[in-house]
Amino acid sequence: MGTNSKAPKQNYVTAPAAPTEAETAAEPAAEEPSEAAPVTAEQQAAMDSFADAVAFAEIIAANGYLKDDDSLQMPIPEVAEDTWENYQQFAEQVHLALAAVEEMKAAGAPAADIEAKLAELKAQSLAYLDKLDASEMRMIADNLGFEHSALISEKPLRFWINPVYPTAIEQKAKIQMCAFNRYALLQSGETVMGMTLADLHAIEGTPGPDAQPGMWAASPAQVEQLAQEAADSVAAFKSLNPLAVQGHFTAALAAEQKLASAYCPEDPAAAQALQNKVKVQIDQIVGGANFKAHATEAIAAAIAEGKLGAEEAKHLTAAEAVALIRPQTPFAEAELIKARAQERQQQLAVLKTAQELHAKGSTGIGAPVQLGALGGGSAEENAAAQAHVAAWVTNAGELKDLQKNALTWIGQSQHSPQERTAALGPTLETYDLAKAFKDWAKPQPLPELRAVAEKLGMPNPGTASRAHVQDYLVAHFSEYVDKDAVVAKAADAAQKKALAKSTKSAAAATPTSNAPTAAGATPATALAAAAASAAVLVPNGAGVSGASVPPSAAPSSPAAAAAPPARKSYRDKHASMIAALKLAQATHADIPKRVEASEVQGWAFGPGKSAHHLGGSHPKSLHQAPDGSTWMFKHYDVDSTARAQAEAAASHAFHLGGVPAVPVYVNKVNGKTGCIQPMLKNASHLSSDPKSWTQPEVDSMVRYHVAAWLVGDHDGKPENFLRTASGGLVPIDQGQAFKFFGRDKLSLGYSPSNGAIVPVHQRAYNAFLNGGLAEGVTVKPAAAHPVIKQFESIPDSQWRALLHRTAHDGAKAGVTWSGAMRRRAAKSLGKAEKDVTTSEVAEAFLDHACERKNGLRAAFAGFFTKDLKIAAGAALKHGG
Amino acid sequence: MNDQNLPRVSAPHPTPLPAAGSPGAADNAPATPWRVWAMTVWHPQLAAAVAPVGVLAVEGGASDPEVVYATWVPGVYEEADSWRIRLAEAPVSAAVLDQWAQDDSTLGLLPADVPPQAVDLAHAAELVLDEILAGDLLATGAGGV
């Protein structure tokens, strides 16, 4: 297909339509082509091809007429008038344009130019599709192989037929899967999208199903019997004790498989209705709380029968593997899952290679870095040594990311714990590795280190100090060091050094002269330049290199930040929010390091951006810290200072006890006092299904329980936890800390919310008592010991100091706990409650806090032995 | 965990859920207002609960809902389990909805506008699901989904 009559490209000036708001939000803004580098012949050829394709697409879209010159109205006879053929012609030009963009990439065209071309093409394609009505879109989708397009509304369908996006992408597969799901519901008798199955068949003009190859002829009685067998198995699964239902899920799947391959010539419609009814019944089991334990058996059976590859299954989650076993899983979904399994296999293979390369320089956590000596050889030998170090440093960064990626899925896969550990290898502790690397680098010749830095892209390494060069190299693998900030600091230091040198030499040569310095500027202007350079060290709102972006380009200006989001559709609103979040390129630390609160108070966070779309009851905003990381500020509508003090104190207490927690600080932003905390990146939420929890996670919950009890936080539901990239658990919200202090209880059934909130440790204990934890996972009282010991080591004086503001601000504000503490103070002081001062209430709070801290060991020993009936819990009393 | 609740927890399919009010079918125009939310989970890269895994729709305005309906983003498996279990654990009441919507946690309930062309509650939820599917940016979520 094609027009076969390509006119010179200069005759067709393209005028892409403006993208929609949603498209604009979803796509990066097109930028002007870069002027930095000259355009090569290869790049020009690719750009010409792109221009040709875009021009012809424009003509096709205009049905053969040039839109930009009405006087011509030149018909292009080859352009099809038929909608389907016209679409095919248009799509072909889009694909040619995409191929041209790939050629541009291969020819080394600047990323900004490529981005601009893609944005132009997307806008053009969207404008073309916008002109199609619903029936035309459905016809095109049907012709492209989409099944049941009537069950999908126009927006996703338009995305699905958009030729700019490849057919095989996950997003398109999901849209098709959605149509299949809705079709299955229709077949089971439900009404979907306002229509019945009969309505859909009328729209599609399709009768009931025909026999397919591989199906067996079943009588209505056989079909009914199979459906009943499946229903019985499902019912048994749902009604029995979780521990006693092995076999029922596998049986239900087997019945579903047999039923799905049955064709009932006597009553095909009834048979298909039963098939889909069974499918829906089993769908409802998949994803439930007890599903994973039973899926294992079904997966093993499918592997034994050759229905599922063992290696493939190993890289899938239980739900994914079961979806592959099931006969009615749509083809697109099955292909998607298979592709995931392959991709994960490849991830692990790449990870293994990276581990092997890493081992050549470091044998593990705490081991010295051994990369040999730099310099001292021939030019070739020196260059090879530099390249080796550069490759090792780069690989270390990649290894860290590869481990993090694998951690997002491997815990849910069918790998055994041993296989998982072997596949992941030792966790890369970048903080320790950076130290070891610097120990290695210290005696290396500076020019050699600079050469390595230059190979890795450091600008002007010749003027950088040893510290800056080392930091630059470390930044390639450590999330604690920002590469752009190092470059900026190095440039600043070099400039200051040059300025000092030139000032000194100028003063020595002409002590009374105002003549320009050797650097070409007077000291005053050079100082101004240095000041300007320092100013751009403060990261801008985009979180990109502060050194390369002029201050005026920083998008975090008050006007921009204060612009309220327009009221639009769900998609538009959240696209806007997500675009803002994406801009925030914070450092990727598992858990950001805790710094002194006084230091944070000195930071300027700027006006920030409203983050009310993040949900929650308290107003939030996102801010850039001076180190470029993104922080979230939250303030409470009532008693904000007191509550912020409590939340920050709880976070600090967790830190002192060695329990992971996001550092929270009290701060004043835009005149309001509240909590500010860094965003925790690369973490995922914790499933609330205890069966999915690993032993290290349950141990973390036990440790968390100690800290939560210490600060009286009973809000530790699973939704308040994140799984970090390294596999740890981090609580993210201590906003309820101390709320019920003084009247709360350390007991299994205690719930100040009357059972509405079940903290994660309570769930773990309940699951432990009811056999609801995964096989081999248990509650170990010993896990609590190190945390108790840490808390015991905090002197009362330090503990009182840490809680001083929480106590006094809370007492003044009369927060929830103040009533209990007032009663306590009244009793101990022998006064009437009304006569107790706020200061005495605060002191009662502090006394109680110390009592609780000092009684942790006895309290938890009692809890584990009495509430959980774990005799080993008594040993906690004797731990030293 | 109550096994009797498991039928309410579905994998890819829309689920009529128990409501705190009296159950009933959603017929044509709503007798009481409909409300629709995107159910979201934590997005590892964006560090916020903004990855949609499904849509929750209720009929009943600010009072206890009379009808509750959930539908799920296809191809999202374990990532949505927390929401499935959350929905299975207790009847959806006005108080529970309020608590979820105000929660600062790893699960989010983000309000969506009710599509004006919806003929019933389920239709409204499915149309919002389509909105999610149409947004290439938003359908990428946790765990590589």
Chain B closest-CA separation from residue A748 CA (Å): 16
Q: pLDDT band for position A36 (50/70/90)?
A: low
Return the pLDDT at A565: 38
Share of chain A above pLDDT 70, in %: 80
Contact A570 B112 (CB under 8 A): yes
Return the pLDDT at A10: 33
Longest dimension (CA), chain B: 41
Contact B88 A289 (CB under 8 A): yes
A637 or A527, greater pLDDT: A637
* H/E element, A264: none
Find the radius of gyration of the CA atoms of chain B.
14
Tokens representing A515?
Answer: 């003549």
Tokens representing A422?
Answer: 């072997």
Alpha-carbon distance A472 to A453, whole Å?
A: 7
Residue A84 near residue A139, CB atoms below 8 Å: yes
The listed range with the strongest mean pLDDT (A74-83, A552-561, A855-864, B13-22) is: A855-864
3-state DSSP: chain A helix, strand, coil percent, rounded to 5?
A: 60, 5, 40
Residues of A in contact with B143 (CB under 8 A): 408-409, 412, 684
Interface test with A, best of B8, B45, B104, B119 (most A CBs within 10 A): B104
Among the residue ranges A226-235, A863-872, B109-118, the one predicted with the least confidence is: A226-235
DSSP string, A553-603: G-S--HHHHHPPPP---HHHHHHHHHHHHHH------SSPPP--HHHHHTS
Alpha-carbon distance B61 to B33, whole Å?
A: 5
Return the pLDDT at A441: 92
**pLDDT tops 80 at residue A109:** yes
3-state DSSP: chain B helix, strand, coil percent, rounded to 5?
A: 30, 25, 45
Residues of A in contact with B144 (CB under 8 A): 340, 408-409
Alpha-carbon distance A319 to A255, whole Å?
A: 18
Q: Which residue type occupies A860?
A: F
**pLDDT tops 90 at residue A649:** yes
Return the pLDDT at A333: 80
How many other CB atoms are found less than 10 A from the CB of residue A880? 4
Return the pLDDT at B25: 36
Residue A729 near residue A700, CB atoms below 8 Å: yes
A533 or A732, greater pLDDT: A732
| Residue in A174, A242, A719 nearest the CB of B3 | A242
Return the pLDDT at A290: 65
A123 or A241, greater pLDDT: A123
**pLDDT tops 50 at residue A16:** no
A44 or B106, greater pLDDT: A44
Numbers of helices and strands, H then E, in chain B: 3, 5
Q: CB contact, 8 Å: A612 with chain B?
A: no
**What are the pLDDT digits (tens) for A237-270?**
766 554 555 677 788 888 888 888 777 777 877 8
Tokens representing A679?
Answer: 């965003």
Q: Which residue type occupies A737?
A: A
Return the pLDDT at A162: 93
**pLDDT tops 50 at residue A761:** yes
Q: pLDDT band for position A5 (50/70/90)?
A: very low
B49: left (phi over 0), alpha (psi -120 to 50) or beta: beta
* H/E element, A850: helix A838-854
**pLDDT tops 50 at residue A345:** yes
Tokens representing A532?
Answer: 């300007």
**Backbone phi and psi for residue A162, each to the nearest 5 degrees, phi listed first:** -65, 115
Q: Residue range A74-80: average pLDDT?
A: 65
A64 or A512, greater pLDDT: A64
Alpha-carbon distance A167 to A148, whole Å?
A: 17
Write down the H helix ranges in A414-515. Answer: 417-424, 430-441, 446-455, 466-474, 483-509
The listed range with the strongest mean pLDDT (A57-61, A136-140, A355-359, A599-603) is: A136-140
**What are the pLDDT digits (tens) for A315-325?**
998 888 988 88
Q: Residue range A531-541: average pLDDT?
A: 27
Q: What is the pTM assigned to this prediction?
A: 0.56
Return the pLDDT at A841: 96
Contact B133 A185 (CB under 8 A): no
| Residue in B10, B40, B44 nearest the CB of A682 | B44
Quote the strand ranges of A679-810, DSSP E. 684-685, 721-723, 729-731
Return the pLDDT at A737: 94
Return the pLDDT at B14: 54
| Chain A / chain B CB contacts < 8 angstroms | 258
Interface test with B, best of A281, A328, A571 (most B CBs within 10 A): A571
Give A84: exposed, middle or buried? Use CB within 10 Å, 0-12, 13-18, 19+: middle
List all residues 6 or more positions away from A660 whose beta carbon is below 8 Å from its beta carbon.
A591, A654, A700, A724, A728, A729, A730, A731
Contact B134 A155 (CB under 8 A): yes
Q: Residue range A336-340: average pLDDT?
A: 88
Contact B104 A615 (CB under 8 A): yes
Q: DSSP letter at A518?
A: T
Alpha-carbon distance A540 to A529, whole Å?
A: 19
Alpha-carbon distance B14 to A151, whole Å?
A: 14
Return the pLDDT at A803: 95
A 217-276: CB under 8 A from B: 237-240, 242
* H/E element, A258: helix A248-260
Q: What angle do CA A250, A318, A705 make, to 5 degrees?
A: 120
Alpha-carbon distance A55 to A7, whole Å?
A: 9
Q: pLDDT band for position B31 (50/70/90)?
A: low
List all residues 6 or more positions away from A112 whose beta carbon is below 8 Å from its beta carbon.
A31, A32, A33, A34
Return the pLDDT at A525: 36
List all residues 6 or more positions away from A129 whose beta carbon is below 8 Å from its beta carbon.
A137, A158, A161, A162
Tokens representing A504?
Answer: 């000194």
Return the pLDDT at A725: 64
A582 or A311, greater pLDDT: A311
Residues of B in contact with A409 (CB under 8 A): 143-144
Tokens representing A189?
Answer: 């008798």
Give A163: exposed, middle or buried? Use CB within 10 Å, 0-12, 13-18, 19+: buried
Alpha-carbon distance A804 to A419, whole Å?
A: 49
A554 or A536, greater pLDDT: A554
Q: pLDDT band for position A2 (50/70/90)?
A: very low
Contact A721 B44 (CB under 8 A): no
Specify which residues B39 forms β-bridges with.
B54, B109
Return the pLDDT at A349: 93
Q: pLDDT band for position A88 (50/70/90)?
A: very high
A 389-428: CB under 8 A from B: 408-409, 412
Contact A719 B9 (CB under 8 A): no
Q: Which residue has the tokens 């009393």?
A: A877
Alpha-carbon distance A344 to A332, whole Å?
A: 18
Helices A818-829 & A838-854, crossing angle to 10 degrees? Answer: 90
| Residue in A284, A717, A721 nearest the CB of B7 | A284
Return the pLDDT at A860: 94
| Average model confidence (pLDDT) across chain B | 72
ipTM for this prediction? 0.70
Q: What angle do CA B52, A398, A450 make, to 5 degrees?
A: 135
Specify which residues B72 forms β-bridges with.
B54
Return the pLDDT at A460: 87
Q: Which residue type occupies B21?
A: G
Return the pLDDT at A11: 33
Helices A466-474 & A446-455, crossing angle to 10 degrees? Answer: 40
List all residues 6 or more positions away from A422 whose beta carbon is below 8 Å from its beta carbon.
none
**What are the pLDDT digits (tens) for A409-458?**
887 888 887 788 788 887 777 777 888 898 899 999 999 999 999 999 89
CA-nearest of A679, A678, A695 to A729 is A695
Write down the H helix ranges in chain B. Answer: 81-89, 94-102, 121-134
Return the pLDDT at A411: 77
Return the pLDDT at A517: 35
Residues of B in contact with A336 (CB under 8 A): 75
Q: Given CA atoms A709, A713, A715, A716 in this order, what sign does their dihedral have?
A: negative
Return the pLDDT at A207: 58
Chain A closest-CA separation from residue B46 CA (Å): 6
> Half-sphere exposure of A552 toward its Cβ, with a 13 Å CA cutoff?
0
**What are the pLDDT digits (tens) for A667-710?**
988 888 899 998 877 677 788 888 888 887 888 899 999 999 99
List all residues 6 or more positions away from A697 whose beta carbon is below 8 Å from its beta carbon.
A686, A723, A729
**What are the pLDDT digits (tens) for B42-78?**
877 777 788 899 999 998 866 778 788 999 998 887 7
List all residues 6 or more positions away from A612 whose beta carbon is below 8 Å from its beta carbon.
A619, A620
Return the pLDDT at A706: 96
Q: DSSP letter at B92?
A: B
Alpha-carbon distance A60 to A698, whole Å?
A: 62
Q: Residue range A160-185: average pLDDT?
A: 88
Specify which residues A666 forms β-bridges with.
A675
Helices A41-61 & A111-130, crossing angle to 10 degrees? Answer: 10
> Half-sphere exposure of A869 toward its Cβ, with a 13 Å CA cutoff?
4
Residue A495 near residue A487, CB atoms below 8 Å: no
| Average model confidence (pLDDT) across chain A | 79
Return the pLDDT at B16: 54
Alpha-carbon distance A651 to A630, whole Å?
A: 18
A17 or A338, greater pLDDT: A338
Nearest chain B residue (CA) to A245: B3
**What are the pLDDT digits (tens) for A585-640?**
332 346 677 778 888 888 887 778 877 666 666 788 888 887 777 888 988 878 88
Return the pLDDT at A580: 47
Alpha-carbon distance A120 to A481, whole Å?
A: 37
Tokens representing A56?
Answer: 């012809």
Q: pLDDT band for position A27 (50/70/90)?
A: very low
Contact A290 B13 (CB under 8 A): no
DSSP 3-state assignment of B19?
Answer: strand
Q: pLDDT band for position B141 (50/70/90)?
A: very low
**pLDDT tops 50 at residue A558:** no
Residue A760 near residue A773, CB atoms below 8 Å: no
**What are the pLDDT digits (tens) for A369-417?**
888 889 888 999 999 999 999 999 999 988 888 887 887 788 788 888 7
Give B24: exposed, middle or buried? Use CB within 10 Å, 0-12, 13-18, 19+: exposed
